Amino acid sequence: MLFEEKVDLNRAKKDYSTPKSIQKYRDLAQNYGLWKSESIVIKKFLNKEALVLDIGCGAGRTTFGLYELGYKNLLGVDISKKLIKQAKAIAKSKNIKIKFEVGNCLILNYGNNSFDAVFFSYNGLMTIPGYHNRMKAVSEINRVLKENGIFIFTTHDRNQNPDRINEWSQEKKKWLNGTQDQRYFDFGDKFVNDNGQELFLHIPDTKEVYSMLTKNNFEILYTKSRSEICPVPEHEKKEFGECRFFVAKKVKH
Ligand SMILES: C[S@@+](CC[C@H](N)C(=O)[O-])C[C@H]1O[C@@H](n2cnc3c(N)ncnc32)[C@H](O)[C@@H]1O
């Protein structure tokens, strides 16, 4: 087998800076807004005065959605300079004052105990290759949150889709005999086809997410799949697929 480099840590920056991604996330920010499930979870756990860091905000779908829901203390951050440029342009065209910055959640440019809440939507955390890198991101998120601060995010769930059980058991066999895609870091890594574009994603199970959170001083308050929270409109199912929400609270070391 030819030697292949592991997925590049800058992969997300590239994946989310292509013309296709820019068009997709600009359209989502301009025309979509928050999922109903996102609104329900946010309203359940965050009060309107909360200072919210929206990580992986893309062109601002969730940041503008939060604003429309009445959250005005917002900061949107994304690793893709091109998506942040779109978010700023949309804010200007809507005459909305939200700060958007380029930033990497592996090394956040903010002090300890700065935010009441962090939101990382639409599987953004799982676009980071390598378990140790995702651990670093979760540890950074914990650092910038105030004590009792809330972290809300969504991921795919490896065990959620019965149609995929067979696929994952085949993949497990490959890992056991070393024939998995050599670009992968961890079991659960996958290249997905998004509208003709190959994107990297890690698909965890709930056990892995629980462990990642508890090892980084979070207490898990809530987890539900999107369709358990509310009926999911057909167009939303098609556009975003199923996913699982996690809500965790920063606790003392
Ligand atoms: C699936 S997109 C979601 C965008 C937006 N939240 C939405 O729902 O439209 C994931 C986003 O996470 C961002 N991202 C990935 N890794 C990141 C990192 N290390 N730091 C900050 N943003 C990151 C990507 O650039 C991308 O915009």
CA of 58, closest atom in ligand 1? 27
Q: Which residues line ligand 1 (CB under 6 A)?
A: 12, 16, 25, 28, 55-58, 61-62, 77-80, 83, 104-106, 121-124, 127-128
In angstroms, rounded to a whole number, what is the distance separating the alpha carbons of residues 122 and 120? 7
Helix (H) or strand (E) holding 223: strand 218-225
- Contact in structure between 20 and 196 (CB atoms under 8 Å): yes
CA atoms of 226 and 61, how far apart (whole Å): 17
Contact residues for 178 (Cβ-Cβ < 8 A; gap 6+): none
Q: Residue 180 is encoded by which pair of tokens?
A: 């998995």
Q: What distance in Å separates the CA atoms of residue 58 and residue 29, rounded to the nearest whole number?
A: 8
In angstroms, what is the span from residue 174 Cα to ligand 1's centroid? Answer: 29
Domains in the chain with CATH codes:
11-250 (3.40.50.150)
Question: Whose CA is closest to atom 27 on ligand 1?
Answer: 58
Which of 16, 74, 101 best tests ligand 1's pocket when mutated (most atoms within 8 Å of CB)? 16
Rounded distance between C-alpha atoms, residue 131 and residue 137, angstroms: 10
Q: What local confidence, expressed as pLDDT, does residue 3 receive?
A: 62
Q: Which residues of the chain have pLDDT under 70?
A: 1-3
Taking the CA atoms of 210, 154, 137 and 208 in sequence, report the sign of the dihedral they define. positive
Average pLDDT, the chain: 95
Tell me what pLDDT residue 2 has.
Answer: 54
Distance 66 CA to ligand 1 centre (A): 16
pLDDT, position 150: 98
